[in-house]
Amino acid sequence: MSNQPILNRRSLLASMAAAFGATALPPSMGRVAAAPTPAPLLARPVPKSGESVPVIGMGSSRTFNVGNDQAARSSRKDVLRAFFDAGGSLIDSSPMYGSSEAVIGHGLGRLGRLGPQKNLFSATKVWTWRASDGPSQMEESRKLWGVDRFDLMQIHNLVSWEAHLDTLLAMKAEKKIRYIGITTSHGRRHKELMRIMRTRPIDFVQFSYNILDRAAERQLLPLAADRGIAVIVNRPFRRGELFDLFSRHPLPSWAAEIDCANWAQFFLKFIVGHPAVTCAIPATSRVDHMRENMGALYGRLPDAPMRARMLQYLAGL
């Protein structure tokens, strides 16, 4: 089994503590910091910068689009808290997801997660057909989140990507964003995506990949590794369908060898076990599910033979 703890929780907490003083940490973080042997947190570097990103982030389409429903907003804030408490950092959203950006911003504000050194890696998208509408949409997103600037701005589903890319390159040069990415979720766009990956200076790429939908293994993942592009994997649970298909079956006993205690961790570790993947962004509306998912941020990762064994097990179910 490979074990690649590039960042560990102790160093993460130590740097946060240095910045704020241990007492400024949220209580749950303080508790973790006081634990005798903090578990190592799995992270991978963004190839273009070397910056470490925890291998499990979170998505927000559907799950965080709850409008102005105050009870639902409060419950999503609890989900965010569970995410950060477990060492999470990268949050992905889009103006396409209705109120999700506003709900994230609401939660971040309530949790005191806005501002520098708050261990937030903010990732959203630009999604307009007219490129001239892009800047105002991105500014609106920034206000909704409440961040000073986005860490990562992605072009959603390749929409008007050429014109948006020019805007994003200029924004990056002005340090208004730190990274540029492009997203898709459908096999149909892979050819075009690969053309962009080969020819344009992007830092991140986002596409779908999970234990059943593995088309990305053929060309996309190797190309990303080859070009030094960070990979964010969306739909890691195939929108939840993987649980419908497999969760009635028992986890194999050998799942413990890669520190998987449940199916969520099994599915996620399969994904982040691929060396070209930087992180997966499962979405959930529930605190208990968030805790399960974030469990995949710790322990051993499957190597190639173990990943083959995981596939074989599912094929036999």
Partner 1 sequence: MFDIYGYSIADFFLYAPETYLRLLAAYNSAYWPAQIVTLGLAMALIALARTPGPAPGRAISLGLAASWAWAGHAFFMERYADLHFAAWIFGWGFFLEAALLLWLGVVRTGLRFAWGPHWTNRLGLALAVFAVALLPLAERLAGRAWSTLDTFPFMPDPVAVATFGFALMARRGAIRLWLLLPIPLAWSVIGAANAWTMGAYENLVTPAAAVLTLAALAGRAIASIPRRT
Give the binding site for ligand NAP (CB under 6 A).
59-63, 92, 156-157, 183-185, 206, 234-240, 243, 264, 281-286, 289, 292-293
User: Smallest distance from the beta carbon of 289 to ligand NAP, in angstroms?
Assistant: 4
Which positions from 230 to 269 touch partner 1 by CB under 8 A, shown as an x/- string? Answer: ---------x------------------------------
Closest Cα partner for 227 from 46, 7, 91, 6?
46
Which positions from 122 to 161 touch partner 1 by CB under 8 A, shown as an x/- string? Answer: -------x---------------------------xxxx-
Q: Which does 72 bind (CB under 5 to 8 A by kind): partner 1, ligand NAP, none?
A: partner 1
Closest Cα partner for 124 from 198, 57, 200, 45?
57
Q: Which does 37 bind (CB under 5 to 8 A by kind): ligand NAP, partner 1, none?
A: none
Closest Cα partner for 205 from 173, 237, 182?
182
Q: Which does 227 bind (CB under 5 to 8 A by kind): ligand NAP, partner 1, none?
A: none
What count of other Cβ atoms lies within 10 Å of the Cβ of residue 149? Answer: 15
Residue corresponding to tokens 């074989």: 312
User: Smallest distance from the beta carbon of 188 to partner 1, in angstroms?
Assistant: 6
Nearer to partner 1, 175 or 188 (CB): 188
Closest Cα partner for 157 from 190, 133, 198?
190
Residues whose CB is less than 8 angstroms from the CB of residue 38 and which lie 6 or more positions away in sequence, other chains included: 8, 9, 10, 13, 32
- Segment contacting partner 1 by CB under 8 A, of 3-11, 163-171, 182-190, 211-219: 182-190
User: Smallest distance from the beta carbon of 262 to ligand NAP, in angstroms?
Assistant: 7
Pairing of strands 40-41, 7-8: antiparallel
Which residue of this chain has its Cβ atom nearest to ligand NAP in the complex? 59
204-208 sheet: strands from edge to edge: 90-92, 121-126, 150-155, 177-183, 204-208, 230-234, 279-280
In angstroms and rounded to an integer, the radius of gyration of the C-alpha atoms of the chain is 19
User: Smallest distance from the beta carbon of 91 to ligand NAP, in angstroms?
Assistant: 8
Nearer to partner 1, 49 or 68 (CB): 68
Nearer to partner 1, 161 or 179 (CB): 161
Contact 84, 308 (CB under 8 A): no
**Residues of the shown chain interacting with partner 1 in the complex, contacts defined by CB under 8 A:** 61-63, 65-69, 72, 95-100, 129, 157-160, 184, 186, 188-189, 239, 285
